[in-house]
Structure 1
Amino acid sequence: MGCSKEDLVRWLPQALGDLYASARVEVDDHIVLNSDRPLIHISGRSYPSRKIALLHIPVMELHFSFAQNLSNDQVESAMRRFDLYTRRGGG
């Protein structure tokens, strides 16, 4: 993803929707959000920014895992919402 840790933290409430209260998020080995019984677990690692001319784009790799009691439809819906909310375009 082209985002920083701060961007991700700011986007999470809207990007996760109802799952936000049931999420565990770790970035660079630091807990950012912690639920006692997480339905979704996101782990991330920051990498050096990509540079294109004078533009610096932050780089973060995210991994998602979901509780086994969520259906495939619920997982697909959550990923679709996250993807749509975090898309950024210039245009």
Structure 2
Amino acid sequence: MQAAYPAGFEREMGCTEAELLRWLPGAVNGRALTLLARSAEVIIGGGRLTLAWHELPPRRIALMSMPRLAIVFHFEGVDEAERHAFMRFFDLYTQRGGG
């Protein structure tokens, strides 16, 4: 988890588009969500978050292959505290199991 989340940033997630679409309704924690073609809009308080994504080539390590998406997060009218709270929940919700 990051210490701060700017109004706009890009990150890579190890998932397929289908997985992301399954996660989004829960990951936005009950907020209004509109899904579009390879993008989504989430209402956060008096502002919004626009997500846009595209597939990247899979990451390959030896015989293992992991799907990847590049996701752009763009917050408008969402203050730093709201961005941090939203992203904290989003990150925990979309975190894969491990160690």
Q: For this structure pair, what is the TM-score category when the shorter chain's length is used for normalisation?
A: 0.7 to 0.9
Task: State the identity as a percent.
Answer: 35
- Report what 2:62 is aligned to: 53
C-alpha deviation, 1:81, in angstroms: 0.8
Distance 2:15 2:83 in 1: 22
- Corresponding residue to 1:75 among 53, 73, 83: 83
The higher-RCO structure (CA 8 Å, 6+ apart) is 2
Preserved contact between residue 5 and residue 46 of structure 1 (Cα < 8 Å): yes
Measured on the aligned residues, the alpha-carbon RMSD in Å equals 2.4
- Report what 1:2 is aligned to: 14
Structure 1 unmatched ranges of 5 or more: none
C-alpha deviation, 1:80, in angstroms: 0.9
Provide TM-score, normalisation by structure 1.
0.75
CA-to-partner distance for each residue in 1:32-77, whole Å, 9 max, x for gaps? Answer: 5467xx7110011111111223322001111111121x22211111
Which one has the bigger helix percentage?
1
Q: How many pairs were matched up?
A: 84
